[in-house]
Structure 1
């Protein structure tokens, strides 16, 4: 077992070099598009829903802001950590690829099933469900007549059709919508800060934080720490897309250079936007308007419109509809990005023999547009007995599988259930990759380079593990379900993966 990761990793580097050379002419996404993929993956349902819940849990607007700052620092350190892994393993596949090549195929299988059940399927269902809830705020006979879940499922199907039709066309569509979304966020922030003197939250007295109780001169901070960890778990879901570019490495030009840069640029941009948005969410309306409310962004927009109208600005009456469009665009791009990135994980697993071959899509011999290759050993992973596998840039069956699973989740799960489960489960998987970065990075023969190593990966790992531990203490049921998701991957490895290698 001790030599196995070295074997996998040393050949993986050689494999990635071959892949990059063979497929360079077919890589369609540059640094701007890759950065927009990261932004689209991050700005989705979480930023528009979690702060109301966090305020109810923490009780203090300032503490909520700090939670978002802490989450941003952890995400930026994660982007740097993943950047080193992406430069080392320059293929599509994300956590599955890193763990399968760097640790063991079984570890990759567990990460792959986390991606299938939580990372993409669950996150897509969350974004689509939130999209529908905001769309239904526009009451009309047509909208009211549609059954619950119809619009969410419709969005998932449309996103699947877009990305199953054309790689370039899907990227262009997504880029255009993401740019429109970012411009609308900038406009919203500009309008909000233009009336900062009228923010209601700044005029309210500070509230004590729940769980922080003065007793005989002593402060009991432990319940507050648990509440902070729980809020940070919800918030981590909003940052979870910081690694979006690693799932598309084989479609990105110069991936060793552009994938790490895209993650760092995209994550930093989104962190700044998140902090600014939460300053508005926490302080522009009164606390009782938004505490515990799922639609905190819409309620804040309503309050902003009232402030602008009171200043005689006609644009005030349009702030509510504009914000709703901004939110809807953000959720659309989130679903588009998840549809674009997720199926590449299942395709990579299929290429390695860990999922049915049909998920791989067409081969070059049968009409694929791309000639990216992987070299596989007799265990279905990088090794000595090499076999070339041609990957399809449009894995339509994998796209359809994810769309179907996400639609089922939309129709069977509540939003609040998804938030806690996704935050814990994705953080758990990401923490394992942080461990891999530290473990691989200390081996000179593997030549992994992470800026600030080992301190930046340690910051990412320490922050993530702290949140996970405190959340497990506060919500053991969520922790058990998250661990159960990993166990599903291990079961499928035992039942399918090791019995179906690519020879």
Structure 2
């Protein structure tokens, strides 16, 4: 078992991974501190399914129908979004086994195009992609867990924000304490959310067999043929599938990544696509177009119409889904910022590891604080468009990196080698989606691109500039030392405190 050094007072002693005292200080000194390989194949499947199936399936159906125009086109958008995500995930399977590093897009973009593009991804992920997604998920959890207490109206905004902040802090604490607890939670809630969505589908079957088939007639009536509107409909669908690349963030903690990463992807993506399709069929069978478009929480509207006095159970199911999704997102995203800090693109303090629990505590706490700042966001549609557009740009960059490295670095070992048709088709579709969205939501897309551009001077000042003033270097070192002492953390591979 790997061993690490710890301190109590001024006397160092050797601790093993579980925190028990050992007697081989020489072995500890030789091996240093590392994140442990705790994730099995099923843990990997649970992370992907658990992160994907969150707030999106309960927030996006109304927006997808709004822009697609008809239930038939909306259902097609959901299925094709899953298919597109599957193509992207397979491309990432090649990237993840070719570059077996944690950090996902950050690692792949860095390998393909260098430090600046990878920093820009980290910059945008830090302030837009990850915390916004986590904030939406936390707020969705809070709204649904409070809904049974305010059945006739919306829960108070302050109560929603308070509960969202509490659950974010609670899950951060669990992630700091023990990785096994995180994976057990993820496995349990992933199973619970799949069962909840299947209950939704079978309830709709009961409704249909009772003779109510009117809502599934003429499903293509009113289809919107505007390319820009269809692009936004795909954005709402793709937002609900976001998270398919999260397992790539934690490759270094996955057992047998060459085998388990692609297997986890190939198991989880078809499962999610099928579950999403069945859930939307359930919504469409029970609710009219107007009811879906006017609902901010389609699952709750569904339950009120079909479950009667038991309608309170659906907000509880939604809360379970979002709880598991937020847990997986916090776990995976914290590793992204850990890797970025380890590479010198974020403060060194974020790359420290707890010497007893072997978790990146400062990174988790930092991510929690940024998420808390965004919990007051309330325009979900604009957030979804901005986040998905920016994410599509960087996903395009990662897949383009796969194509570029096929040419520039043919010597790299590729345990998985996908057909060139897949990354080329994925890239073309991403380009069209981003370009077409300019016509309907130019402001949101402009804000995202502007924020990316702002990262360039930040990189020049804080990363590229080597001869910084002595006072700035001293302040950074003092901050790192303080965090190390406060959280009892050391840099990766450290052999002494």
Which bracket does the TM-score occupy, shorter chain normalised? 0.7 to 0.9
Identify the residue that residue 48 of structure 2 maps to in structure 1: 38
Identify the residue that residue 359 of structure 1 maps to in structure 2: 350
Return the offset for 1:477.
1.2
Return the offset for 1:486.
2.1
Identify the residue that residue 245 of structure 1 maps to in structure 2: 247
Return the offset for 1:479.
1.5
Identify the residue that residue 179 of structure 1 maps to in structure 2: 191
1:271-323: CA deviation from partner (whole Å, max 9, x where unpaired):
111111111122321222112422111112223326xxxxxxxxxx42x2222
Identify the residue that residue 317 of structure 2 maps to in structure 1: 326
Identify the residue that residue 478 of structure 1 maps to in structure 2: 444
Identify the residue that residue 309 of structure 1 maps to in structure 2: none
Is 2:119 aligned against 1:153? no
Q: Matches of 1:120 and 1:260 in 2, distance apart?
A: 23
Identify the residue that residue 136 of structure 1 maps to in structure 2: 146
SS at match of 1:354: coil
Which of 173, 177, 202 aligns to 2:216? It is: 202
Q: Matches of 2:455 and 2:255 in 1, distance apart?
A: 31
Return the offset for 1:166.
0.8
Q: Matches of 1:264 and 1:467 in 2, distance apart?
A: 25
Alignment of 1:255-266 (within 5 A): 255-266=257-268
SS at match of 1:362: strand
Identify the residue that residue 235 of structure 1 maps to in structure 2: 237
Q: Matches of 2:240 and 2:316 in 1, distance apart?
A: 19
Q: Matches of 1:239 and 1:165 in 2, distance apart?
A: 29
SS at match of 2:464: helix
Relative to structure 1, the CA distance from residue 460 to residue 263 in structure 2 (aligned partners, 3 Å threshold; closer, same or farther) is same
Return the offset for 1:147.
3.6
Query: How many residues of Structure 1 are paired with residues of Structure 2 in the alignment?
Result: 432
Q: Matches of 1:106 and 1:25 in 2, distance apart?
A: 26
Relative to structure 1, the CA distance from residue 172 to residue 148 in structure 2 (aligned partners, 3 Å threshold; closer, same or farther) is closer
Alignment of 1:292-441 (within 5 A): 292-305=294-307, 317-318=309-310, 320-362=311-353, 367=355, 393-441=358-406
The answer as to whether partners of 1:285 and 1:304 remain within 8 angstroms in 2 is no
Identify the residue that residue 17 of structure 2 maps to in structure 1: none
1:144-172: CA deviation from partner (whole Å, max 9, x where unpaired):
59544111111111111110111111211
Is 2:128 aligned against 1:162? no
Taking only aligned residues, the RMSD between alpha carbons, in angstroms, comes to 2.5
Structure 2 residues not aligned, in runs of 5+: 1-30, 468-490, 492-497
Q: Matches of 1:484 and 1:449 in 2, distance apart?
A: 38
Relative to structure 1, the CA distance from residue 278 to residue 139 in structure 2 (aligned partners, 3 Å threshold; closer, same or farther) is same
Relative to structure 1, the CA distance from residue 118 to residue 200 in structure 2 (aligned partners, 3 Å threshold; closer, same or farther) is farther
Q: Matches of 2:381 and 2:268 in 1, distance apart?
A: 27
Which of 90, 100, 103 aligns to 1:90? It is: 100
Q: Matches of 1:451 and 1:275 in 2, distance apart?
A: 29
